[in-house]
Chain A
Amino acid sequence: MLKDVTFGQYYPGNSLLHRTDPRIKMLILIEYLVLVLVANSEIAALLSLAFTVFLIAVSGVRFGILIKSVKPLIFVLAFTAIINLFFTVGEGEPLLNWGFITIYANGVRNAIMMLLRLLSLVLGTSVLISFTTSPLELTDAIEALLSPLKKIKVPVHEFAMMMSIALRFIPTLIEETNKIISAQKARCADFESGNLLKRIKALIPILIPLFVSAVRRAEELADAMECRCYNGGEGRTKLKVMKSRPADYAFLLAVTVLTVAVFFLNNISVSEIINLCKAIF
């Protein structure tokens, strides 16, 4: 059950996206989010879709794995599309008027746009970050990008350390949970039948041992860190020093240009572009 959530699942590889500097990837991620959310005209949406396909293609992540990551969201996607389809009130004649169901051309357009936008968000961000960036690289990148805030006394290093510890322990806790579930199942515990209250009560034999062991782990980790003289970020060096290559900057620049282009294309309709092309040639 917990295994199917792909967020935070690193997919080892050596693709273009794997090699890109994680700091640059974080910046590209911000631009990408803006780009996908802003794209509103057909041509801009097409451009953002093309870029998403490009990201997926260069990530080297297998298609089956991507499908698996979308699977849990099918309900949300379908729900959004249907809401948009039925509840958009457009201008002009409705495409279909059947009892209380009225579908406008605008509704179809909105449904498709929203579906593509959500799919792009999920797939694009996961190939850009989750699948191609290890959790350690990710926190290092966040720490580096937020480091200017140190000047106004924001404990950036401590935040990054907390985040990497939290990320580090997600798989451990999942494993621990599965172990406890198995152990209680071996004692004939039943988590699947009964009403809601009964099922919530059935979780107590899992949650209590889990909390107890999480607290124990936290104490042990704190001791182990102190034994190795950890005392915060002051003067601490990194095992992996992040380096940006010219190619990384070129990638960032290209995405910036793309984002700006999407802003411009939003205000231009398809017919205007055709006219523009005719005028040029």
Chain B
Amino acid sequence: MINAIEVKNISVIYGEGTPFRKAALNGITTAFPKGEITGIIGHTGSGKSTLASLLNGLLKATSGEILLFGENIWAKPKEMTKIRSRVGLVFQYPEYQLFDETVEADIAFGPKNIGLDEEEIKNRVRLAAEFCGLSEKELKRSPFELSGGQKRRAAIAGVLAMRPEVIVLDEPAAGLDPQGREEILSGLVEYKNKYGATLIIISHSMEDIAKYADRILVMKDGEIYMQGSVEEIFVQAERLFDAKLDLPQITKLFIELKKRNLCQSTDVYTVGYAKKEIEKIIAK
């Protein structure tokens, strides 16, 4: 398997030599396989967001290196824009970055900066809007007239329009209603499948992670606490609780069912699978 991004022994230290010195990341090493969705979970202040802004070179690590398809992203600091168009980063609450007169112009901001021609830009804007579920009518409106959820979609579309190979999303669905979450996340999966892109999603929602991620990275106090497949991580409930994290609610339900000897499986992480399990129990 090819790794889209490799992180090698990265440390980030803020405020060296002041009373506010803090190590945000402490020598972490990991890799993000191409075409997979990696979910990053961790308690507030565990270094998730710092890791995110390292991956597209917005932040430079104090030590260590980051390889994008085997190439050090800091090899040519003058060509950072190129790296940033290949690794798209969607910040927390990205709707606060919207500025242009129309949603269409705002989504076109990224592609324009890369220097694409008119036709290509138009094309990409349409496609990105489609992935994010924005209609033709909404493209013509001012971004400030949209609802919160629509603004979020517009902002994410602004990054997708650059057609990045890797997309890092910091809490893309935070503060949205359940339907909005679903639509945004499944739109991203669609994009991933179409372009063979790699997704890295930071989230506090264990349900979203269980449903969408292939791999999980658990962070704690600036270090990697656990990493592995969804099954490997969620089976270690105790360790997750130690990192002040949680299991998906449906998994907790099945643990309780097992305690009462009603069901034997504890590897239930999604509602869909739970439904099948419950049907099996009823059929008995």
Interface positions, chain B 102-138, Cβ under 8 Å from A, are 109-110, 113-114
**Is A12 engaged at the interface, CB distance under 8 Å to the other chain?**
yes
Q: Is the CB of A182 within 8 A of B53?
A: yes
A183 to B154, CA, bound (A): 14
How many Å from the CB of A69 to the closest CB on chain B? Answer: 13
Partner of B97, one of A64, A65, A183, A188: A183
As a 0/1 sequence over residues 153 to 182 of chain A, the CB contacts with chain B under 8 angstroms (1 = contact) are: 000000000000000000000001001101
Q: Is the CB of B94 within 8 A of A188?
A: no
Residues of chain B contacted by A190 (CB below 8 angstroms): 81, 113
Interface positions, chain B 47-99, Cβ under 8 Å from A, are 53, 56, 58, 81, 84-85, 88-91, 94, 96-99
Q: Is the CB of B113 within 8 A of A209?
A: no
Residues of chain A contacted by B178 (CB below 8 angstroms): none
Partner of A187, one of B17, B19, B96, B110: B110
Partner of B113, one of A64, A182, A188, A208: A188
**Is A189 engaged at the interface, CB distance under 8 Å to the other chain?**
yes
User: Between A and B, how many residue pairs show CB distances below 8 Å?
Assistant: 60
**Which positions in A face B, CB cutoff 8 Å?**
11-12, 64-65, 176, 179-180, 182-190, 204-205, 208-209, 212-213
Q: Is the CB of B91 within 8 A of A187?
A: no
Interface size in chain B (residues, C-beta < 8 A) = 27
Q: Is the CB of A64 within 8 A of B17?
A: yes
Q: Is the CB of A187 within 8 A of B109?
A: yes
Partner of B99, one of A64, A176, A182, A209: A209
Most chain B beta-carbon contacts within 10 A, residue among A12, A186, A188, A190:
A186
Q: Is the CB of A188 within 8 A of B110?
A: yes
**Is B18 engaged at the interface, CB distance under 8 Å to the other chain?**
yes
Q: Is the CB of B159 within 8 A of A180?
A: no
Residues of chain B contacted by A185 (CB below 8 angstroms): 58, 84
How many Å from the CB of B59 to the closest CB on chain A? Answer: 8
Residues of chain B contacted by A179 (CB below 8 angstroms): 91, 96
How many Å from the CB of A210 to the closest CB on chain B? Answer: 9
Which residue of chain B has its CB nearest to the CB of A213? B96
Given contacts A180-B96, A187-B162, 8 further A-B contacts (CB under 8 A): A179-B91, A183-B91, A183-B96, A186-B84, A186-B89, A190-B81, A209-B96, A209-B99
Q: Is the CB of B109 within 8 A of A186?
A: no
Cross-chain pairs A/B with CB under 8 angstroms, 9 sampled: A176-B96, A186-B159, A187-B109, A188-B110, A188-B162, A189-B109, A190-B113, A204-B99, A205-B109
Q: Is the CB of B94 within 8 A of A183?
A: yes
**Which positions in B face A, CB cutoff 8 Å?**
17-19, 53, 56, 58, 81, 84-85, 88-91, 94, 96-100, 109-110, 113-114, 144, 158-159, 162
Q: Is the CB of B158 within 8 A of A187?
A: yes
Instruction: Decide: A186 near B144, CB < 8 A? Known: A180-B96, A208-B99.
Output: no
Which residue of chain B has its CB nearest to the CB of A216? B96
Q: Is the CB of A65 within 8 A of B18?
A: yes
Which residue of chain A has its CB nearest to the CB of B114? A188
Q: Is the CB of A182 within 8 A of B58?
A: yes
Residues of chain B contacted by A188 (CB below 8 angstroms): 81, 84-85, 110, 113-114, 162
A187 to B156, CA, bound (A): 11
Most chain A beta-carbon contacts within 10 A, residue among B58, B96, B97:
B97
Residues of chain B contacted by A208 (CB below 8 angstroms): 99
Residues of chain A contacted by B84 (CB below 8 angstroms): 185-188
How many Å from the CB of A14 to the closest CB on chain B? Answer: 12
How many Å from the CB of A72 to the closest CB on chain B? Answer: 17
Residues of chain A contacted by B90 (CB below 8 angstroms): 186
Residues of chain A contacted by B114 (CB below 8 angstroms): 188
Instruction: Decide: A186 near B113, CB < 8 A? Known: A64-B17, A208-B99, A209-B99.
Output: no
A209 to B19, CA, bound (A): 33
Residues of chain A contacted by B94 (CB below 8 angstroms): 183
How many Å from the CB of B118 to the closest CB on chain A? Answer: 17
A32 to B88, CA, bound (A): 53
Instruction: Decide: A184 near B58, CB < 8 A? Known: A189-B109, A190-B81.
Output: no
A11 to B158, CA, bound (A): 40
How many Å from the CB of A203 to the closest CB on chain B? Answer: 11
How many Å from the CB of B71 to the closest CB on chain A? Answer: 18
Instruction: Decide: A189 near B19, CB < 8 A? Known: A182-B53, A184-B97, A209-B99.
Output: no
How many Å from the CB of B201 to the closest CB on chain A? Answer: 16
How many Å from the CB of A116 to the closest CB on chain B? Answer: 28
Residues of chain A contacted by B53 (CB below 8 angstroms): 182
